[in-house]
Chains A and B, each alone.
Chain A
Amino acid sequence: MKVKVLFFAGLREQLGTAAEEIELPAGVNTVAALRSHLLGRGEKWKSALGEARLVRTAVNQDMVQAAARIKAGDEVAFFPPVTGG
């Protein structure tokens, strides 16, 4: 299935990408699984999204926990803890 993945702030800069469509292998159907899948892309991804990094996620513009399910067509966003206000 295909999902749209977005990156914001420091993550966007570190990864050099703001948005991309990704075709996921079968079985990658949670936010946590998607994050692990992205780690397989190499060192840059490991240092940005690895376990040591505090990363927040939203699915279809709603903040969710790592166990949240994702389905085809979803918009999944990864970003650092927010610092507005």
Chain B
Amino acid sequence: MKVSVQTEDFDLSTEVKNLAGKNGNVGAVASFVGVVREVAMTLEHYPTMTEAAIRKIVEEAKSRWQVMDCTVIHRFGELKPSDQIVLVAVASAHRGDAFAACEFIMDYLKTRAPFWKKEHRAEGARWVEARASDDDAAERWAGKGR
């Protein structure tokens, strides 16, 4: 498992190759990349908690699906439109587990990892409000997986 909270950008194909190349039994890598929309933002986080919170989410995914390896990278600091924010990539023997675990990790990350976005709009800066739909997305996983 690789978890990194960083200011630097990341490269999807490098990360996917690293996951697929380590284990001959890997038959599927599902990945998700989150991207900044049209508004520049600052991402704040809780440095001593963030990585542990993400690791806990990945462990939960591993207990539910057959996950061989996983990489999560989340950026913080100043980000511009179209910058990459987050990467979740999951390696498994088959696509079903890889897709489900990847989506689960993303949904849980949205509600349990301590990050906060502040958008810099023309009319001023404002903190992004959490959305109830994100809570719903996380809750639909109750009882899912093995």
Do residues B127 and A84 form an inter-chain contact, with CB atoms below 8 A? no
Q: B residues within 8 A CB of A58? A: 46, 49, 114
User: B residues within 8 A CB of A63?
Assistant: 53, 112, 114
Residue of B nearest to A13 (CB): B127
* Distance to closest chain B CB from A58 (angstroms): 6
Task: Look across to chain A and name the residue whose beta carbon is closest to the beta carbon of B52.
Answer: A61
Say if the beta carbon of A45 comes within 8 Å of chain B.
no
Other-chain residue from A6, A10, A54, A84 in contact with B113 (beta carbon distance below 8 A): A84
A54 to B131, CA, bound (A): 12
Q: Which one of B10-18, B20-28, B59-67, B115-123 is at the interface?
A: B115-123
Instruction: State which size class the interface on A falls in.
Output: 10 to 19
In the complex, the answer to whether B115 meets A82 with C-beta atoms within 8 Å is yes
Closest residue of chain A to B51 (Cβ to Cβ) is A61
For residue A9, give the distance in angstroms from its CB to the closest CB of chain B. 4
Q: What per-residue 1/0 map shows which CB atoms of B44-61 lie under 8 Å from chain A? A: 111011001100000000
Chain A residues engaging chain B, CB cutoff 8 angstroms: 6, 8-10, 54, 58, 61-63, 75, 77, 79-85
- Most A Cβ at <10 Å: residue of B74, B86, B109, B127: B127
| Chain A residues, CB < 8 A from B129 | 81, 83
Contact B115–A61 (Cβ < 8 Å): no
Contact B117 A84 (CB under 8 A): yes
Query: Which residues on A sit within 8 Å (CB–CB) of B85?
Result: 84-85
Contact of B127 among A9, A75, A85 (CB under 8 A): A9
CB < 8 Å: which of A6, A81, A84 contacts B45? A84
Tell whether B34 is near chain A: CB-to-CB under 8 Å.
yes
